[in-house]
Amino acid sequence: MSATTYAQDLSTTDDTPRVHREKARRTLTYLLIFAIVMAFSGLLSAYLVSKGSVDFWVSIRLPMAFYWSTAFILLSSVTMQLALVMARRGRSGLTAPLLVATLGLGIAFSVSQFKGWSQLHELGNFFSFSKVLQNNGVYGEDYTIARKGVTLVEAEGRFYLPDDVERTKPLNDEMADQSNAASQYIYVLTALHLAHLAFGLLALVLMTVKALLRRYPATDTIGLWSGSIYWHFLGGLWLIILSFFVLVH
């Protein structure tokens, strides 16, 4: 199902009895979420397999912009829920402003993501053709490199196994052509999440228009419910991705 089709469904009504329409909307929402969960589960599993199979793995300190993103999306989840509560209580005059606030926070999240990618790029972590030795941050602070799970020691730009106390066998030549798979996974996972959030922003625009037109009476807020569930899910998914990077990456 395309994003456009789903977004249009958020703003349409028909002559189907309300109970059947609400049941269909709930089912559609849960199916969409299930499909997204399966896609990200596959990517996270591939990440773990790659980390365990490659010779060299770069552990990258996440940009601070990603943590700002977290604050924005958590706040947006609060305003989204408040919009739904106000609509259900018949206080429709507050629904649209809260949806606008959610939209603004969602845009702030998106901007922070781009800033995070820019910070990654500045430190030598690229999406395509990224190499292990391209990192130009401070070793031990911005990144570390492990060989088959053993973190390497850096000395004057050369990398050694920790038991090579005499520093006689630098691994730079062996690492020269190795890809920085960790960098590529960070871009793919965060970009895919942002793509789904873009769909959520489109839905928010449509919901805001409906709220301004007073199309969400207290007795019929299934459209807002569907949008809020999807938005909360995006927030939870981002927390999972961020936690995965912090704890596993």
| Model pLDDT, residue 15 | 53
Per 3-state DSSP, the chain is made up of helix, strand and coil in percentages (nearest 5) of 65, 10, 25
pTM of the predicted structure, to 2 decimals: 0.87
Q: From residue 217, how far is each of 59, 85, 220 by CA, in Å?
A: 51, 12, 5
> To which H or E segment does residue 233 belong?
helix 222-247
Cross-strand pairs, 192: none
Mean pLDDT value across residues 49-73 = 94
In 3D, which of 193, 186, 57 has the Cα closest to residue 131? 57
| Model pLDDT, residue 226 | 95
Q: How far apart are CA 121 and CA 111, in angstroms?
A: 15
Tokens of 206: 């449509």
Q: Looking at the predicted structure, is the pLDDT value of residue 210 above 80? A: yes
Write the single-letter amino acid at 209.
Answer: V
**Rg of the chain on CA atoms, in Å:** 23
Question: Which domains occur in the chain, in start order?
Answer: 26-56+64-130+179-247 (1.20.120.80)
Tokens of 85: 């509560």
CB neighbour list of residue 6: distance below 8 Å, 6 or more residues apart:
28, 32, 199, 203
Average pLDDT, the chain: 90
Mean pLDDT value across residues 107-119 = 97
> To which H or E segment does residue 57 belong?
strand 56-60
CA quadruple 132, 129, 40, 63: dihedral positive or negative? positive
Mean pLDDT value across residues 135-160 = 92
Q: How far apart are CA 215 and CA 209, in angstroms?
A: 9
Q: Looking at the predicted structure, is the pLDDT value of residue 123 above 70? A: yes
Strands 56-60 and 143-147 turn out to be antiparallel
| Model pLDDT, residue 46 | 95
